Amino acid sequence: MRIRTYPREQIQQKFRVHCQTLAADNNAGYRKEFEELNGTGEEFPCKAAELNANTVKNRYPHILPYDHCRVKLSVLPSQPFSDYINASYVPGGYTSHDFICTQAPLPSTMDDFWRMIWEQNVQVIVMVTALKDSGKVMCNQYWPPERGTGCYGAVQVTTVSVHHGPDCYITTIHLRHRGQSGLRHVTHYYYPDWPDQGVPKEPVSLCALTERVRKHLEGASSLGPTVVHCSAGVGRSGTFVALLWLLRLCVRGVPPDVFLTVRDLRRHRVLMVQNLEQYIFVHQCLLHLLSGNTFGPSTQNASVRLQATQPERPRQSRRYGRTRGGQPERPHQEKVACSSERAPRTPHAPQPTQEPPRSLQASLLAFHPRKLLRRILSTPSLSSTHAAKDTQL
């Protein structure tokens, strides 16, 4: 089956009408869609994360990776539980392993984090949380200061340069592995202006970051998964991945379906796009990007902004990083000491994702978003008629 594509102006017009419909009656449509996401993924077990040996590795006790899509590290000698890290493979348009969403590293899990970066051949890290808020650590700094080097287990991490762009810090990092040859390059995007369990004040800066990362990923070759994390690796991380995924579709002329995308993400990691405000914000950002004013002032209708969020599942309260003066906290300038660790073995092969059959809702897009972009990229012609009924590729 071939997918018909549409001009951006037509996608924008239809999507704007769709958003206006959802925003009517105090966001009644948004609320209804978001409520339908409740319980998604609850059938999937998290047995590895609940083992006594692994619970101390979880930053938040109720944010755990599902067994069927958790990232498995190589098992270190005499450490039978060393394959565990609180990280999940999530789809992003091409495959079910396009992204890894993970919690912010703890001091005790930094070695595991960098081992994951090396073993998964990660070349891009997107950090969408500040380091501190009101003195509380939300993310322990896991990379060295500029021109600094730290050793994390068998991985040597060197910060080569830091560029402070208008919306984020962009850090170039070099990696070496003890006992292996070769030098690897990692680009680290640090976006601190995103409050916990909330959204940025305007879509402009996040849209600019998303477009920058999209162009980076599509201009590179042989990339491993892109790592995205906030503090828990679910709310803001899920929002960013959903936005980037749908932007990829829009660029190729495919109308976005936020509901289906978030539902698929939640079958790979709990509470992706954590609250109603974030769910609405994905729509706002897409409208802004479709308008073609990615780096200009926001022109979107503020009426779709949420005033009161839906009740959510119990979770720990987390607030993120600003200094007393209200400015985003810059990365620490402290050197990171080396720690000893034997070189890891060959990493486990990722486990295939098992997903239950799904019936797609009547919406602008009647196709499974996870497989749609991959299908488009491999299709020589896109001029046939768009299917009008629910279809699963």
* 237-289 per-position pLDDT tens digit: 999 999 999 999 999 999 999 999 999 999 999 999 999 999 999 999 999 99
Q: Describe the strand order of the beta sheet including 99-102 as a list of residue ranges.
A: 70-72, 84-90, 99-102, 226-229, 124-127, 184-190, 169-177, 155-164, 149-152
Per-residue pLDDT band for 222 (boundaries 50, 70, 90) equals confident
Q: What is the mean pLDDT of residues 335-345?
A: 36
Active site residues: 230
CATH number for the domain running over 8-373: 3.90.190.10
In whole angstroms, how far apart are CA 41 and each of 38, 64, 291? 9, 12, 34
Report the chain's mean pLDDT, rounded to a whole number.
81
The yes-or-no verdict on residue 295 having pLDDT over 50 is: no
pLDDT given at position 81: 97
The yes-or-no verdict on residue 198 having pLDDT over 50 is: yes
pLDDT given at position 75: 96
Per residue in 20-50, pLDDT (tens digit) is 999 999 999 999 999 999 999 999 999 999 9
Q: What is the mean pLDDT of residues 288-293?
A: 84
Q: How far apart are the C-alpha atoms of 148 and 348, rounded to whole Å? A: 31
pLDDT given at position 167: 84
